[in-house]
Amino acid sequence: MFLRLWTNPKIRFQNKMVINKKLIYSIGIGLFILLLAIFIPRYMNGNLTDSGNNKISSDIEKVEIYHFHATSQCVTCKTVGFNAEATVNTYFANELKSGKLVFAHINIDLPENKAIVEKYGVTGSALMIGVYGKDGSFVKQEDTNVWYKMDKTNSMDYLKEVIEQKFLGV
Q: List, for residues 104-120, the tens digit of each pLDDT value.
A: 999 999 999 999 999 99
Q: Report the alpha-carbon distance of residue 138 to residue 80 in Å, rounded.
A: 24
Q: List, for residues 45-61, the tens digit of each pLDDT value.
A: 333 333 344 444 567 88
For all residues of the chain together, what is the average pLDDT? 79
Q: List, for residues 37-49, the tens digit of each pLDDT value.
A: 665 544 443 333 3
Query: pTM of the prediction?
Result: 0.65
Residue 62's DSSP bridge partners are: 132
Q: What pLDDT shows up at residue 46?
A: 35
C-alpha distances out from residue 107 to 25, 70, 77, 78, 81, Å: 55, 5, 12, 12, 11
The structural domains of the chain, with segments of one domain joined by +, span: 2-44, 50-167
Residue 103's DSSP bridge partners are: 65
Q: What pLDDT shows up at residue 52?
A: 41
Fold of 50-167: Glutaredoxin (3.40.30)
Helical ranges in the chain per DSSP H = 2-7, 9-44, 75-91, 93-98, 114-120, 152-167
